[in-house]
Each structure stands twice: as structure tokens, then as C-alpha cells.
Amino acid sequence: MANHDSFKQLEGLFGDDEVIKKISPKFSELSLDLKEINKYCKNPMFMAVLMFKLAEEREKTNKLLADIYDKFDAIMFKMKSEEAPNLQQRQSTTEGPSSVLSEQDQMIMHLVHTNGKATADDIRAELGYKGKNAASQRLNRLFKDGHLRKIQSGRKVLYLTRNTPTP
């Protein structure tokens, strides 16, 4: 609070402490704590101890958050590592004749197969998309479904057929 007398002004507004206790016992307890702190807040040593305690609490909180983050990271890693074999198994079962691609996806697959590789810009130009996002989304979907392989080459992402050797 900018003005230390504002607490006294609040006392004047609410009047008797008994009224505050009747309205909210929790607020009454808090206001007693605040009155006690207000007595000592002009003492620099008290303020230094208060700030030190605050810093200790913040350090404990940051350590707890770091531990939680590490545990979350370990859980996510475990889930991803367990998911990888399942994903490969699902991809191998969906690559047969049972997976039917849309006409545009078939055109993309044909372009990748004939050129050996493709980028989102290549697909955008060939299929006449206005932006690169639609081509990127289709290529990513084909990659996730196991029809294509994806290789990062600088800022560009190359998509290859699954049986094409890595360049």
C-alpha cells in the first residue's frame, strides 16, 4: 500500500472488530496479521527478514516446479518411446490396399514418387494452392500416416517415399 495510514482508514470505515469477525472470520484473522505486520514494517531489519523469507519460498516453489517439469518430461518420453513401436505396427497394417487416399493425396504421392522427393513449395506449385500451408498439412498427414518419410534440409523439409534411400 502506498499509504500506511490506509489500514487505519479501513478500521474507521468498518468500525468495530466484532462486526468484521461476524462478517468473515478469515478476514478478521488476516486483518489481525496485517495489523501486526503494520507495526513492524518501518523497521528495516523486519523488512529484510520478510524479503528473505519471501525469496526462500519462491526458491522452494521454483524447485517444486522444476521437479514437476522433470517428472512430466520423463512421463512424456516414456509414452513417446512406447508409442513408437505401436505407431510402426499401425503404419504397417494401414499401408496395404485397405488405406484409400483421396485424389489430391494420390496426386501428391505420384509427384513424390516421380520426382523422388518433394517440398511443400513443389506441391503448392504443382497443385495450384494459394499458400504453402495446405501443401504442408497434406504432406504432414501423409507422413503421419506412414506413406512418406520426412527429412529436414536446412529450412526446407523434404518428403520422400518410404522406400527411397536417404540422400
Burial class (CB in 10 A: 0-12, 13-18, 19+), 138: buried
Give a yes or no: residue 57 inside a domain. Answer: no
d(CA 63, CA 83): 30
CA–chain centroid gap for 68, Å, is: 14
- Do 116 and 164 meet the contact criterion of CB atoms below 8 Å apart? yes
Give a yes or no: residue 17 inside a domain. Answer: yes
Give a yes or no: residue 81 inside a domain. Answer: no
d(CA 109, CA 36): 75
Give a yes or no: residue 22 inside a domain. Answer: yes
Mean pLDDT of 9-18: 57
Domain harbouring 120, CATH code = 1.10.10.10
Grid cell 486483518 is found at 31
Give a yes or no: residue 66 inside a domain. Answer: no
Give a yes or no: residue 62 inside a domain. Answer: no
What's the pLDDT tens digit per position in 105-154?
888 898 888 888 888 888 888 888 888 888 888 898 998 888 898 888 77
Q: How many domains does the chain have?
A: 2
Range of the domain at 28: 6-42
pTM for the full model? Answer: 0.41
Give a yes or no: residue 154 inside a domain. Answer: yes
What's the pLDDT tens digit per position in 65-78?
999 999 998 888 88
Query: What percent of the chain is modeled with pLDDT above 90?
Result: 12
Amino acid at 154: G
Give a yes or no: residue 36 inside a domain. Answer: yes
What lies within 8 Å, CB to CB, of 96 at 6+ separation is: none
- Do 138 and 105 meet the contact criterion of CB atoms below 8 Å apart? yes
